[in-house]
């Protein structure tokens, strides 16, 4: 018999919802996460009997998201017979939906993971962001919904991925004093381009820490204030030439910057 606190996550789908809820609750009780054991895609009563047997002889409970009525009732019945705690994470809310909205659930597993149009758009956008990250294949600039430009360590890549998860096709281009920006950058509509800048002090701090993590000294040109000022000046001149809006990312989380970018684009669309 184990003394490890365990939760058996049982689902007729993947079980992601149950796992997230278990982790949220466990964080209120344990210094570290409780051990979670998965029983996904439960299809018959034997699967349920097996997990109840294991739970009975261990320090554990069952948390489940089963929407098929027959399997749910069987789990409740067997758990009660064997003295096992089994918590239904979905039906209390489903019952509230039924009562308030006068609707019945379709009781089909895996509805959240059905492949819909939005899913494919998101996958396409993520693949686009990876392909056209850091100035790769400049032909992607014309196909992009949003083009981000900025010097190194201004969060271009994480921003691209964050926006891609919202189905926007994003390309980003690094601005380096010694390298001429691609001519395509000046031929795309300026309304879809956004410049990213950062304070010299913040960038110095970020780059110094980056060098330390690589085992290099902070005396490298990459982290020198003179070099940083040169890069920022060059970048701002290019952004002014493009005529794009400029966002200072110095003290912003990725989500904040992304929201600001989307606000700019939504405002433009409303006046288009």
Domain range summary for the chain, segments of one domain joined by +: 6-113, 117-270
Per residue in 3-35, pLDDT (tens digit) is 678 999 999 887 888 888 998 898 888 666 688
Output the tens digit of pLDDT for each of the chain's 272 residues.
Answer: 446 789 999 998 878 888 889 988 988 886 666 889 999 889 899 999 999 999 998 889 999 999 999 999 999 999 999 999 999 999 999 999 999 999 888 877 766 655 567 778 888 999 999 999 998 888 889 999 999 999 999 999 999 999 999 999 999 999 999 999 999 999 999 889 999 999 999 999 999 988 888 887 766 788 899 999 999 999 999 999 999 999 999 999 999 999 999 999 888 665 45
Over the stretch 36-82, which tens digit does the pLDDT of each residue have? 999 988 989 999 999 999 999 888 999 999 999 999 999 999 999 99
Residue 150 marked in a binding site: yes
For residue 154, say whether it is annotated as part of any ligand binding site: yes
Which helix (H) or strand (E) covers residue 150, if one does? strand 146-150
| Owner of token pair 């509230």 | 96
**Integer Cα distance of 191 and 268 in angstroms:** 8
Task: Say if CB 121 and CB 165 are below 8 A apart.
Answer: no
157 marked ligand binding residue = yes
151 is in an annotated binding site: yes
Q: Does the 117-270 domain belong in CATH 2.20.28? A: no
The reply to whether 40 sits in an annotated binding site is no
DSSP per residue over 31-81, as a string? Answer: SSPPEEEEE-S--SHHHHHHHHHHHHTSSEEEEEE---HHHHHHHHHHHHH
Question: What would the CATH number be for the domain defined by 6-113?
Answer: 3.40.50
pTM over 0.85: no
Which residues are CB-contacts of 36 (< 8 A; sequence separation ≥ 6)?
6, 7, 9, 19, 22, 23
> Would you give the DSSP letter of residue 251?
T
Tell me whether domains 6-113 and 117-270 share a fold: yes
């Amino acid at each position: 018999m184990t003394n490890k606190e365990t939760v058996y996550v049982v689902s007729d789908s993947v079980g992601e919802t149950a796992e997230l809820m278990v982790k949220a609750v466990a964080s209120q009780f344990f210094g570290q996460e409780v051990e979670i054991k998965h029983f996904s895609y439960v299809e018959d009563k034997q699967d349920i009997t097996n997990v109840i047997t294991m739970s009975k002889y261990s320090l554990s409970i069952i948390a489940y998201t089963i929407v098929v009525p027959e399997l749910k009732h069987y789990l409740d019945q067997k758990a009660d017979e064997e003295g096992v705690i089994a918590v239904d994470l979905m039906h209390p809310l489903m019952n509230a939906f039924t009562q308030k909205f006068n609707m019945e659930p379709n009781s089909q597993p895996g509805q959240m993971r059905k492949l819909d149009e939005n899913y494919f758009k998101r996958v396409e956008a993520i693949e686009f962001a990876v392909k056209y990250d850091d100035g790769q294949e400049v032909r992607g600039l014309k196909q992009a919904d949003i083009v981000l430009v900025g010097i190194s360590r201004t969060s271009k890549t994480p921003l691209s991925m964050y926006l891609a998860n919202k189905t926007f096709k994003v390309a980003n281009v690094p601005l380096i004093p010694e390298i001429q920006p691609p001519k395509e950058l000046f031929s795309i509509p300026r309304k879809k381009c956004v410049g990213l800048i950062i304070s010299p002090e913040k960038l110095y701090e970020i780059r110094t820490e980056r060098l330390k993590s690589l085992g290099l000294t902070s005396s490298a040109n990459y982290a020198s204030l003179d070099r940083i000022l040169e890069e920022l000046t060059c970048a701002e001149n290019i952004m002014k030439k493009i005529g794009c809006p400029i966002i200072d990312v110095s003290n912003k989380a990725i989500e904040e910057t992304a929201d600001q970018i989307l606000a700019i684009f939504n405002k433009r669309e409303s006046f288009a």
